[in-house]
Copies of this chain bind each other. A is one copy, B any other.
Amino acid sequence: MRIIRTVSALREALGRARSGGAASVGFVPTMGALHEGHLSLMRAAREENDLVVVSIFVNPKQFEEAADLAAYPRQERHDAELAASAGVDLIFAPDADELYPAGFATTVSVSGTIAETLEGAARGTGHFDGVATVVAKLLIAVMPENAYFGRKDAQQLVVVRRMVADLGLPVRIVGCPTEREPDGLALSSRNVRLDGEARARAAAIPRALALAESLVADGERSADVVGRAVAETLAESGVEPEYIALVDPVGFETVENIDQPVLCAVAARVGGVRLIDNTTLSVGGTTARGAGE
């Protein structure tokens, strides 16, 4: 497995692989600090493609808080070993200057409810601009047939799908189920920053989402009732949410009645660490946290 630092070297390697018969490239963009969630994306890519490329790039443009960017964990050597174990062929790990050289002035921006609510509102409007810009750049550099994203970042997945469709990038975007700890906590690179007490309290998030699922499974149709039950479950563990949202999973409009699949999304700071999670509440069907749609 090779680690590549520049777009030109990446294109050269991909060109050689394609000439050598690689008919499909699968791409997994990451910010490193790899965990089982990322590895499940890489294994999905490995199954479906001749060549698997993973990018590791802590994208400064999608962090509105300098402290959050600085605290984001970095462990490239360990990440490379994990990626190799998942069958990855190429790691693309550019410096910030490679992707954003001096004079860089272009932004890819998705407007509307899907980009401006929830994470867009909580992290600042620049967050999804940063995501859309770097994902567009990475997709243009790799030109994969398939690209894999986790459903834990449900809103990011919707924004990326919109951007890819709108620009006409010839890639299939694949949403993959959220990987979880035994107590349900969604895997996240940020989890390593939770101390023991915060780690225990964080389990209230998947517990609250599971309660939402069971309420809907039992016939509850009021988004307000479900939202309040989620809030109470979080409150019992002293977890204060940034938002609890029940929205339609396509347009992210707030819903009142759960008569179509509804995305229930939560963001909360626990012990100073920002966590997000979601589940799709399906009426009359099975539901799975972060595995819907």
Residues of A within 8 A of B (CB): 7, 11, 103-112, 114-115, 132, 136-137, 140-141, 162-163, 166-170
Question: B166 contacts A105, CB within 8 Å?
Answer: yes
Q: A112 CA to B105 CA in the complex, in Å?
A: 7
Question: A140 — which chain B residues lie within 8 A by C-beta?
Answer: 140, 167-170
Question: B106 contacts A167, CB within 8 Å?
Answer: yes
Question: A108 — which chain B residues lie within 8 A by C-beta?
Answer: 106-109, 167
**A167 to nearest B CB, angstroms?**
6
Question: A104 contacts B141, CB within 8 Å?
Answer: no
**Oligomeric state, in copies:** 2
Question: B106 contacts A132, CB within 8 Å?
Answer: yes
Given contacts A105-B111, A105-B114, contact A170 B137 (CB under 8 A): no
Question: A7 — which chain B residues lie within 8 A by C-beta?
Answer: 168
Q: A105 CA to B113 CA in the complex, in Å?
A: 10
16 interchain pairs, CB-CB under 8 A: A103-B162, A104-B166, A105-B110, A105-B111, A105-B112, A105-B162, A105-B166, A106-B108, A106-B110, A106-B162, A106-B167, A108-B109, A137-B167, A140-B140, A140-B167, A140-B168
Q: A105 CA to B141 CA in the complex, in Å?
A: 23
Most chain B CB within 10 A, of A11, A104, A114, is at A104
Other than the given A105-B115, A108-B167, 4 more pairs (CB < 8 A) read A105-B111, A106-B162, A136-B167, A137-B167
Question: A132 — which chain B residues lie within 8 A by C-beta?
Answer: 106
Residue in B105, B109, B141 whose CB lies within 8 Å of A107: B109
Q: A169 CA to B166 CA in the complex, in Å?
A: 16
Most chain B CB within 10 A, of A7, A108, A137, A141, is at A108
Most chain B CB within 10 A, of A106, A112, A132, A170, is at A106
Q: A110 CA to B109 CA in the complex, in Å?
A: 11
Most chain B CB within 10 A, of A107, A115, A168, is at A168
Question: A168 — which chain B residues lie within 8 A by C-beta?
Answer: 7, 137, 140-141
Q: A26 CA to B167 CA in the complex, in Å?
A: 20
Most chain B CB within 10 A, of A109, A137, A166, is at A166
Q: A109 CA to B167 CA in the complex, in Å?
A: 13
Q: A166 CA to B140 CA in the complex, in Å?
A: 11
Chain B residue at minimal CB-CB distance from A164 = B106
Question: A141 — which chain B residues lie within 8 A by C-beta?
Answer: 168
Question: A166 contacts B106, CB within 8 Å?
Answer: yes
Question: A106 — which chain B residues lie within 8 A by C-beta?
Answer: 108-111, 132, 162-163, 166-167
Chain B residue at minimal CB-CB distance from A113 = B105
